Structure 1
Amino acid sequence: MPSTTFQTIARIAQEEHRCDPALLRPEVPLADLGLDSLALMEFIFSVEDALKLRLPEERLDPREAGITLGDLCDAIDAHMAQQQQTGGATPAHA
């Protein structure tokens, strides 16, 4: 069963960005979702807003070739785990 994080990512991709549900698998590169570069950044911001976090740019750059939905999920889960350990948070933009 997919993680809660992955389910959130997939829901946003499908509902807000009209991505093909058949493409919403962990191994699918973000570039294959059919989003142009601006839409891809908006997708990442939508995911961050939904999860109330901001990923540091060095953790994941969605413009990099080969970044998959699973990589995005892993980066978010790792970031959230790190924030829980340190007791801090990376605030969301307003």
Structure 2
Amino acid sequence: MTKTVAEQVIAIIAEQALMEPGDVSPDATLDDLGVDSLGLVEAVFAIEETFDISVPFNANDPAQSEFDISNVRAMIAAVEKLVAEKGT
């Protein structure tokens, strides 16, 4: 069975947070999960590799990025959008 985008993104974030995917709430922020800036960058690289996409992300100033990292749900939505754009 193929995992959904959401399941894969949650698994990537959970790995960085050293948690089980089932323990990652869609409303949680990366800070809530204990993911630091290095973990965020590693998660972004893993997302790019997993989905064969390029994330428009500014690691030096995430607030200025087009890739919303405000919480897990926002990250999933951003990845789903990039995957959909790739398919067109």
What RMSD, in angstroms, separates the aligned Cα atoms of the two structures?
Answer: 2.1
Are 2:76 and 1:73 aligned?
yes
Shift in Å, 1:6: 1.2
**Cα distance 1:20–1:34, how it changes in 2: closer, same or farther (>3 A)?**
farther
Provide structure 1 residue ranges, at least 5 long, that are not aligned to the other structure.
86-94
CA distance, structure 2, for counterparts of residue 81 and residue 24 of structure 1: 24
Q: Deviations over 1:59-82 (max 9, x none)?
A: 2154xxxx1111011011111212
Identity of aligned residues (%): 26
Q: Deviations over 1:4-41 (max 9, x none)?
A: 11100122233x32135464121111221102211121
Provide structure 2 residue ranges, at least 5 long, that are not aligned to the other structure.
58-64
Q: Size of the alignment, in residue pairs? A: 78
Scaled by the length of structure 2, what TM-score is found?
0.70
Scaled by the length of structure 1, what TM-score is found?
0.67
Q: Which has the larger radius of gyration?
A: 1
Larger helix percent: 2
Would the aligned equivalents of 1:23 and 1:33 in 2 still touch at CA under 8 Å? no
CA distance, structure 2, for counterparts of residue 61 and residue 36 of structure 1: 16
CA distance, structure 2, for counterparts of residue 50 and residue 83 of structure 1: 13
Higher RCO, 1 or 2 (CA under 8 Å, sep at least 6)?
A: 1
